[in-house]
Structure 1
């Protein structure tokens, strides 16, 4: 595939960072190893996402600030517009959250978990590279230098349970290892990004979880999202591939922000990041008039889908509704799939109360 200039440069930077991450992972020097691996994995991911966007002639500079957009925005745009799967996005999102904690505070990542996250990212990176840029990672990094672990790959649930038990032991009175326990809590919080958008790790979250662990609450109560993660492994040794997906039919429980009964399981997420678009902005994103966008929303049931929209109660009179990237994706998929916009608009107008002979214009 012939790459455009920007895409070629960004792809080169992505592979360079990935090579550095691999060399660091396999290094004999443990000093700063985990942080360096996470930093370079995240940078490789962001450069790949931007390379794909530029190859599609998609702008990566914010119009207002004239600076390149950040990782989270790139990720959402690639999911919405550039065929990045939810599974691949989850891996990139988790590595970004771990890197964020490593760069701005500290995090403890168990070796087996670091290996699985690294291999999962390589699997996602290679698949997306081949699919969107027509290149193969094997042409740039020999299989013999990819991360290889001497430890057996255990079941994901087993690793998480073991890590949670270790956190409990570290928090026992007299151990004086609270900082390490909190660093491991941050790592588990970051891993929720495998199945959840908009993961945010705050001190308040860590405090709540620490209290829940001290109170003897089970991992299913404190980290319910991790119970929905499924790991699929194929291959052996240097050729092993790791994929994380969400278990089919996994139970979901949404705790209210003022529910004190399960304080350990409550997460604070910046909902404006999860639902970044107003109704007008949604219409612009899908290139429809506001009225036709409203009709399509009603046809697809977006306002009733919690993953697509949310009502923000600012006061008794101010209750604006905002929309997620998934809402954009659903509208575009419907239109690309042949949705008859004229028929949708006609059906929508027919449900509106008549005011004389006046009808809203499409």
Structure 2
């Protein structure tokens, strides 16, 4: 690993440890802000380390001595074929974290204990994957297993968590209540996530939050006010303790597609114009490159579960037509599998009765 990438990775781990340390501390003063700010810093440094390790550049061309910011790091790691290390769900989680950090650092925000735990624990899970897969630096070699966020009642379902939180907010904004300012601070976290999923970078204004309060007092539920937030779900990590946050597209389009170059758009909301550069082959293209029949390749792809792996395959819609596209990673994996004698034997016996 290059020295600069190694140093950035070390600083990223330091920030992650500080974030977890603040999460687990007994003193509440400044705790939420410290967790969000240090988690955000940990991921910006980690993404920069990955970009350098993979041969990319983190220097601003227009400003000498300045490095790129979080948004640009995220875009590179999501969209650049040579640097890609994130899928869309992971980018959604990081974009939301960055927007919450912005509110914590520049204004004010109230995040429930359960919601803060989700961001902290899912952050550990994602950091572990990125550091191990992209840098070959397993987190377990850097910090003890005991350094994990501790929560007395870990949430198992986001919808139930928001149901409870929203019920509290309704009481706080009821006519005659003197807790509207506190309620607005709590609503801001949900509004920020919704705005991020809608493709907006700006923080919700006082007027926008007042409109939300009016809708609440008219009897609207949080699912109709924040439809994008309603598509988020918790998915347990199969590799060990941890959580990942994913967007369930079958419940509605949570990410608004906007034009490339829109200065008010979030990273995750911008259509990846070079997506076809990453998924740059059809089945016929790979058949020619590997000198293998399309039927055989499709059998292998289905057998290995590659159709469900975004690193290997994605269905891309252009106009009214959908195209099944495959990546260079898929081609490389197929080439490795075709070199295995056992695979050819399995293919030859695929229709034989067991």
TM-score, normalisation: structure 1: 0.70
SS of residue in 1 equivalent to 2:56: coil
Contact 1:195 1:228 survives alignment (8 Å): no
Give the structure 1 partner of residue 52 of structure 2.
54
Counting only pairs closer than 5 Å after superposition, residues 307-326 of structure 1 correspond to structure 2 as 324-326=270-272
Q: State the alpha-carbon separation in 2 of the partners of residues 271 and 87 from structure 1.
A: 21
Contact 1:53 1:59 survives alignment (8 Å): yes
Q: State the alpha-carbon separation in 2 of the partners of residues 45 and 336 from structure 1.
A: 34
Contact 1:87 1:194 survives alignment (8 Å): no
Q: Please list the CA deviations of residues 271-291 of structure 1 after superposition, one character each: whole Å capped at 9, or x if unmatched.
A: 435499xxxxxxxxxxxxxxx
Q: 1:105 to 1:48 in 2, by over 3 A?
A: same
SS of residue in 1 equivalent to 2:280: helix
Q: State the alpha-carbon separation in 1 of the partners of residues 35 and 119 from structure 2.
A: 11
Contact 2:196 2:266 survives alignment (8 Å): no
SS of residue in 2 equivalent to 1:231: strand
SS of residue in 1 equivalent to 2:272: helix
Q: Please list the CA deviations of residues 86-113 of structure 1 after superposition, one character each: whole Å capped at 9, or x if unmatched.
A: 1221221121111111111100000011
1:219 aligns with 2:165: no
Give the structure 2 partner of residue 38 of structure 1.
36
Quick check: 174-183 or 15-24, which moved more? 174-183
Count residues in correspondence: 277
Q: 1:197 to 1:122 in 2, by over 3 A?
A: farther
Contact 1:97 1:193 survives alignment (8 Å): no
Q: State the alpha-carbon separation in 1 of the partners of residues 147 and 266 from structure 2.
A: 41
Give the structure 2 partner of residue 201 of structure 1.
203
Q: State the alpha-carbon separation in 2 of the partners of residues 153 and 275 from structure 1.
A: 28
Cα RMSD (Å): 2.8
Q: State the alpha-carbon separation in 1 of the partners of residues 196 and 266 from structure 2.
A: 19
1:103 aligns with 2:105: yes
Q: 1:75 to 1:210 in 2, by over 3 A?
A: same
Q: State the alpha-carbon separation in 2 of the partners of residues 122 and 194 from structure 1.
A: 21
- Displacement of 1:45: 0.6
- Displacement of 1:144: 1.2
Counting only pairs closer than 5 Å after superposition, residues 1-362 of structure 1 correspond to structure 2 as 3-66=1-64, 67-81=66-80, 82-192=84-194, 197-203=199-205, 204-234=207-237, 240-252=241-253, 271-274=262-265, 324-334=270-280
Contact 1:194 1:245 survives alignment (8 Å): no
Q: Please list the CA deviations of residues 74-130 of structure 1 after superposition, one character each: whole Å capped at 9, or x if unmatched.
A: 111110122211122122112111111111110000001111111011111111111
SS of residue in 2 equivalent to 1:327: coil
- Displacement of 1:27: 0.8
Give the structure 2 partner of residue 315 of structure 1.
none
SS of residue in 2 equivalent to 1:143: coil
Q: State the alpha-carbon separation in 2 of the partners of residues 232 and 142 from structure 1.
A: 24
Q: State the alpha-carbon separation in 2 of the partners of residues 63 and 254 from structure 1.
A: 30
SS of residue in 1 equivalent to 2:176: coil
Q: State the alpha-carbon separation in 2 of the partners of residues 68 and 189 from structure 1.
A: 30
Q: State the alpha-carbon separation in 1 of the partners of residues 57 and 22 from structure 2.
A: 32
Q: State the alpha-carbon separation in 2 of the partners of residues 104 and 275 from structure 1.
A: 18
- Displacement of 1:172: 1.3
Contact 2:110 2:186 survives alignment (8 Å): yes
Q: 1:11 to 1:336 in 2, by over 3 A?
A: farther
- Displacement of 1:145: 2.1
Contact 1:90 1:193 survives alignment (8 Å): no
TM-score, normalisation: structure 2: 0.71
Give the structure 1 partner of residue 304 of structure 2.
none
Q: 1:141 to 1:195 in 2, by over 3 A?
A: farther
Q: Please list the CA deviations of residues 259-279 of structure 1 after superposition, one character each: whole Å capped at 9, or x if unmatched.
A: xxxxxxxxxxx9435499xxx
- Displacement of 1:337: 8.1
- Displacement of 1:168: 1.3
Q: Please list the CA deviations of residues 6-38 of structure 1 after superposition, one character each: whole Å capped at 9, or x if unmatched.
A: 101110110000011111111111111111111
- Displacement of 1:240: 2.1
Q: 1:233 to 1:135 in 2, by over 3 A?
A: same
> Structure 1 unaligned runs (5+)?
256-269, 277-306, 309-323, 341-362
